Structures are given as structure tokens and as C-alpha cells.
Amino acid sequence: MISNNLEICSIDIGVHWYWNFLGLKIHGQVLLVSWVAIIILLLLAILGTFNMQKEPRGFQNFLEYVFEFLQDISKNQIEEKYYKSWVPFISTLFLFIFVSNWLGALVPWKLIKIPEGELAAPTNDINTTVALAMLTSVSYFYAGLSKKGLRYFLKYISPTPILLPINILEDFTKPLSLSFRLFGNIVADELVVAVFNLLFPLFLPLPVMVLGLFASSIQALIFATLSASYIGESLADHH
Amino acid sequence: MQDILNIYLSSEESGGLFDFDATLPLMASQFLLIMLILDITFYKPINKVLKDRENYILKTLESATQISEKTKETLARYEEVILKSKKESQQLIDSIKTKTEHDIVNELIQTQNSTREFISKSIKELYRKKEQTLKVLEEDTENLSDKIYLKLINPKQ
């Protein structure tokens, strides 16, 4: 009984179920849950849009609400003229991170046994968060370069060339902070829940789980908002 | 009993918390893929529906405004027509009234005149008759007096 309990409570961090893909190592448990998240997103999109009406009903209504919320994230950070083309990226960031986090928090993955490691939110793997953060970096570079051309690099010596090292450093700290914030929050939440489960596996973890649910949605919002803000910064005119 | 908390920060062979491998580019590419798919199946259609609805509402609002303006116009026109016809009917009534009054006064005057004429005529007639009678009477009196005189001077006759 106790050993069974402990088995349920135990947590493996840093243990991966390796797959071989064209001779490259990949983390199977991360990809599996990310596929679940993707399928959920696709189902939602298909359910909400297959029978669209002028008067929204059911899933269409829900999707319209979600879309307006997502659009507002981009609208608030990026100039009116440019935000439209960035809505898909920012929105998908939010949706993917949000669904991943909640999948990790709500689904008892522990009940599904895999050969190595354990199923969890894809965002508790550093590869996922760094991938998303790097996409954000590429995006804001692309946004700045496509709008201003080479003049984009003038931002490194503005307002004064003295700030050049700091400005260059910023390009590294941005993705670093983005990825580690998300990664750290999700891992820490799972750790805390696991430790509380260990101490008293009945009601004690519940508040922390609720907090984790809240924190993971906030993390999704923060990631999307910061990405939008970086892109908006690149698109803004310097004076 | 197994270890409860297995945290591998990094290990010699493989694994660990910060184990970067092909998952990273794979995750990035599948994220881009899902972004494209969601753009086609979710963002674009929903955005279109929202925009269509906004246009529809704007159009309906505009037509409603037009209709209400038209109604106002028609109302004003009808009011004008009603006012005009009221005025006309009032004028008609007034003219008939004055005409009738005029007629009555005329008739009255005529009647008065004719009455006066008749009276004066009658008076004249009366005077004439009186004079005539007086004349006749005088003649008669003269005749009679002549006869009386003749009788007096020639009683035998």
C-alpha cells in the first residue's frame, strides 16, 4: 500500500523516454503530450468553425470569445497598423502553452505507464520552452528587419552607443528569461505538488494544485504578452 | 523501495533537466505547423465571421437610420399637408361666412328700402287721394252752393 502510494507520488525529473528519429535523440514523452495538446486545439477549432452562423452558438460563440481575447493580447502590445499579421503567432503561443500547462495540471498522467520517465506538461521540458522562446526571438528580429531594414540595428546604439553591450545582452536575456520563467514555473509546480503528495497524499496538495492551475494560465498569458511586447518594440519607431 | 524524487540535473551518459536534443527543433517546427493550421481553421474564419457581423450591424444600423429619417420626412410632409388643408378649409369657412353675412345685410337693406319705398308711396297715394277727395268735395260744395244760390234767387223755377 505504502509503496504503491509512493510510486504514485514519485516524480522523475530529468528522466526521458528517448526515441530515435533519423538518428537523433528526442524526448518521446514531451512530444506525446504535445500531440495531445495539438489534437485538442484542432478539435476545438474544427468544432467551433464547421457550422458557422451569423448568430454564434455553442462552440462558435466560445471560439469568438477566445479569438477576441487573443487578438487583444496582440492589439495591446503591437501598433494598430501591424498587429493583424502577428495575431496567429501570439495566439498560438498562448493557446499551445495554456493547453499544455493545463494538460499537465489536470490529467493524471501517472496512471499511464511509459517505459522511462513520465508523461507531463510539454512545457516542463526545457526543449519546448526554449523552442518557443527562440521562435519569439526570430519573430521580433524578423519584424524589425522587415519593417526598418538595416536601420533596425540602430536600436543597439540608441539612445547612446554606451548602451551597446547592454542592448546586445538584451537579445540573449529575452529568450533566456522567457524560457526559464515558463520552464521553472511548471517544473516547480509539479515538484511542489509531488512533495505535498509525499507528505500527505489527500487534501493537502489540492490548494497547491489550484494555485498551479492559476499560475500556469498566468504563465501562458505572460509568455504571449511578452512575445507580443518584444515584437511591438521592434516595430515601434524610435525617436 | 524506489527513489521518490528523482531529479537529474545532468548525467554523464544522457538525460537530465537541461538535456537539449532534437526535441527542440522538432517542437519549434510542429509549433509553426500548428500555427499555420490554426490560422486556416480558426483565426481566419472566426475573424471573417466577426468582421461580417460588424459590417452587417453597421449596414443594418445605417438602413435603420435612413428609414427613420424617411419617416420623419414623410411625417413632416403630411403635417404640412394637414396644416395647409386646415388653412384652406378655414379660409373657405370664412369666405362663406362673410358672403352669407353680406347677403343677409344686402337683403335687409333691400327689404328696408322696399319697405320705405312702399311706405312713402302709400303716403303719397294717400295724400293724392286726400287732395282728390278734397277737390271733389270742393267741386261738390261749389255745385251745391251754386244750386243753393240759384234756388234762392229764383225760387219758382
Q: Is residue B27 part of a domain?
A: no
More confident residue, B100 or A16: B100
**Is B2 within the bounds of a domain?**
no
Tell whether omega for the bond before A159 is within 30 degrees of 0, i.e. cis: yes
B37 SS3 class: helix
**Does the pLDDT at position B1 exceed 50?**
no
| pLDDT number for residue A1 | 44
Chain B CA closest to residue A125:
B17
B42, A67: Cβ pair inside 8 Å? yes
Contact check, Cβ <8 Å, B39/A122: no
Q: What is the pLDDT of residues A98-115, one digit of tens each?
A: 999 998 888 887 778 777
> Does residue B46 fall inside a structural domain?
yes
Gap from A116 CA to chain B (nearest CA, Å): 11
Count of other CB atoms within 10 angstroms of residue B6:
14
Q: Could you tell me if the ipTM is greater than 0.90? A: no
**B31 touches A: beta carbon within 8 Å:** yes
Contacts of B47 in chain A (CB under 8 A): 67, 71, 87
Is B50 domain-assigned? yes
Do the beta carbons of residue A89 and residue A134 sit within 8 Å? Answer: no
Judge contact between A92 and A57, C-beta under 8 A: no
Selected residue of A92, A128, A227 to mutate for chain B interface (largest B Cβ count, 10 A): A92
Give the whole-angstrom CA distance, residue A165 versus residue A145: 20
Q: How many residues does chain B have?
A: 157
| pLDDT of A8 above 60 | no
Q: Would you say residue B52 lies in a domain?
A: yes
Alpha-carbon distance A53 to nearest alpha carbon in chain B (angstroms): 8
Q: Is residue B97 one of the residues assigned to a domain?
A: yes
A-chain CB neighbours of B32 within 8 Å are 135
Which residues on adjacent β-strands are paired with residue A19? A26
The residue written with cell numbers 529575452 in the block is: A174
Task: Return the residue in A127, A134, A193 with the most chain B beta carbons within 10 A, the one to mutate for interface testing.
Answer: A127
Report A:188-227 residues touching B (Cβ under 8 A): 191, 194-195, 198
**Domain count across chain B:** 1
pTM over 0.80: no
* Tens-place pLDDT, residues A164-187: 989 899 889 999 999 999 999 988
Question: Quick one: pLDDT at residue A110?
Answer: 77
CA angle B63, B64, B69 (to 5 degrees): 95
Q: Is residue B53 part of a domain?
A: yes
In tens, the pLDDT along B8-64 reads 665 555 567 777 888 888 889 999 999 999 998 888 888 888 899 999 999 999 999
Predicted pLDDT of residue B10: 55
Band the pLDDT of B108: cuts 50, 70, 90.
very high
Q: What is the domain range of residue B61?
A: 36-124
pLDDT in tens, A226-235: 999 999 988 8
Range with lowest mean pLDDT among A140-149, A196-205, B4-13, B146-155: B4-13
Q: Is residue B12 part of a domain?
A: no
**What is the percent of chain A with per-residue pLDDT over 70, rounded to a whole number?**
94
- Chain B touched by A18 (CB under 8 Å): yes
Give the chain B residue whose CA is nearest to the CA of A12.
B6
Q: Which chain A residues are Cβ-neighbours of B55 within 8 angstroms?
A: none
**CA–CA distance from B119 to each of A117, B123, B132 (Å)?**
144, 6, 19
Give A12's contacts in chain B (Cβ within 8 Å).
6
pLDDT at A218: 93
Work out the pLDDT band at A194, boundaries 50, 70, 90.
confident
B46 touches chain A (CB under 8 A): yes
The larger pLDDT score, comparing residue A25 to residue B132, is at B132
Q: Does A85 touch chain B (CB under 8 A)?
A: no
Task: Give yes or no for residue B138 having a pLDDT over 70.
Answer: yes
**Quick check: A63 and B46 CB within 8 A?**
yes
* Cβ within 8 Å, pair A27-B5: no
